[in-house]
Copies of this chain bind each other. A is one copy, B any other.
Amino acid sequence: MSDDARFGLARTVSLPGPLALDGGARLSPVEIAYETYGTLNADGSNAILICHALTGDHHVASTHPITGKPGWWTRMVGAGKPIDPARHFIICSNVLGSCLGSSGPASKDPGGAPYAMRFPVITIRDMVRAQAMLVDHLGIGTLQAVVGGSMGGMQVLEWAATYPDRVRSAVVIASAARHSAQNIAFHEVGRQAIMADPQWRGGDYYADGKAPTAGLAVARMAAHITYLSEAGLTEKFGRRLQKRDAKSFGFDADFQIESYLRHQGISFVDRFDANSYLYITRAMDYFDLAEEHGGLLANAFKGTNTRFCMVSFDTDWLYPTSESRAVVHALNAAGAAVSFVELSSPFGHDAFLLDVPELNRVVDGFLRAGE
Contacts and interface: CB of A to CB of B under 8 A. Distances in A.
A185 interface: yes
Interface stretch (A46-54, A64-72, A85-93, A173-181): A173-181
Interface stretch (A28-36, A258-266, A361-369): A258-266
A102 B8 CA distance: 63
Contacts of A238: 181
Contact of A234 (B182, B191, B234, B249): B182
Interface in A39-64: none
Interface stretch (A106-114, A144-152, A217-225, A332-340): A217-225
A218 B193 contact: yes
Interface string A18-40: 00001110000000000000000
B120 A225 contact: no
Chain A contact surface mostly: helix
A236 B258 CA distance: 32
A129 to B, nearest CB: 15
A341 interface: no
A239 to B, nearest CB: 6
Contacts of A286: 247
A188 B120 contact: no
A282 interface: yes
Interface residue range, chain A: 35 or more
Which of A215, A236, A247 has its CB near the most chain B CB atoms (within 10 A)? A247
A84 interface: no
Interface string A237-250: 11100000001011
A225 B186 contact: yes
Given A182-B233, A185-B258, A254-B285, 16 more contacts: A23-B249, A24-B249, A178-B239, A181-B255, A182-B225, A185-B233, A188-B253, A188-B257, A189-B261, A192-B265, A193-B218, A222-B222, A230-B317, A251-B278, A255-B285, A317-B317
19 contacts: A22-B249, A23-B249, A179-B239, A180-B233, A181-B233, A181-B234, A181-B237, A182-B225, A184-B257, A185-B225, A185-B233, A185-B261, A188-B255, A189-B221, A192-B261, A196-B197, A196-B214, A196-B218, A198-B198
